[in-house]
Amino acid sequence: MSADHWIADRMRHIEVSGIRKVMELARNLKDPVNLSIGQPEFDVPEPIKAAAHAAIDRGANGYTVTQGLAELRDKIRADVRRRYPHADREVLITSGTSGGLVLALCCTVNPGDEVIVFDPYFVMYPHLVTLAGGTTVYVDTYPDFGLNLDRVRAALTSRTKAILVNSPANPTGRVYPPEQLRELALLCRERNVLLLSDEVYRVFCFDQPFHSPAEFNEDVIVFDGFSKAYGMTGWRLGFAHGPRKLIEEMSKLQQFTYVCAPSIVQHAGIAAWDFDVSDIVASYRRKRDRIVAGLKDRYEMAKPEGAFYLFAKAPHGSGSAFVEEAIRNNLLIIPGSSFSKRDTHFRLSFAAEDRMLDRGIEILNRLAK
Strand order in the sheet with 238-243: 89-94, 238-243, 220-225, 194-198, 160-166, 114-119, 135-140
Cα→Cα distances 181→99, 160, 196, 245, 261, Å: 24, 18, 12, 24, 30
Residue 151 structural domain: 62-273
Q: Both 68 and 127 in a single domain?
A: yes
Q: Note the pLDDT tens digit of each residue in 169-193.
A: 999 999 999 999 999 999 999 999 9
Q: Both 175 and 74 in a single domain?
A: yes
Q: Both 172 and 223 in a single domain?
A: yes
Q: Which residues of the chain have pLDDT under 70?
A: 1, 17-18, 20-21, 23, 25-26
Look at residue 56 and tell me if it is in a domain. Answer: no
DSSP class per residue in 166-228? ESS-TTT-----HHHHHHHHHHHHHHT-EEEEE-TTTT-BSSS----GGGT-SSEEEEEESTT
Q: Both 195 and 264 in a single domain?
A: yes
Q: Both 21 and 104 in a single domain?
A: no
pLDDT at residue number 222? 98
| Cα-only R_g, the chain | 21
Decide which of 219, 243, 273 is a domain's last residue. 273
Look at residue 29 and tell me if it is in a domain. Answer: yes
pLDDT at residue number 301? 95
Structural domain count of the chain: 2
Q: Both 204 and 292 in a single domain?
A: no
Q: Both 159 and 251 in a single domain?
A: yes
CA atoms of 38 and 161, how far apart (whole Å): 29
Q: Note the pLDDT tens digit of each residue in 140-160.
A: 999 999 999 999 999 999 999
| CATH code (residue 329) | 3.90.1150.10
CA atoms of 329 and 334, how far apart (whole Å): 14
Cα–Cα nearest to 309, from 341, 338, 343, 329? 338
Model pTM score: 0.94
Q: Both 285 and 343 in a single domain?
A: yes
For residue 192, give every residue at least 6 positions away whose Cβ sits within 8 Å of its Cβ, in sequence order, or none: none
Q: Both 99 and 181 in a single domain?
A: yes
Decide which of 273, 296, 316 is a domain's last residue. 273
pLDDT at residue number 143? 95
Decide which of 225, 255, 273 is a domain's last residue. 273
CA 187 to chain centre: 23
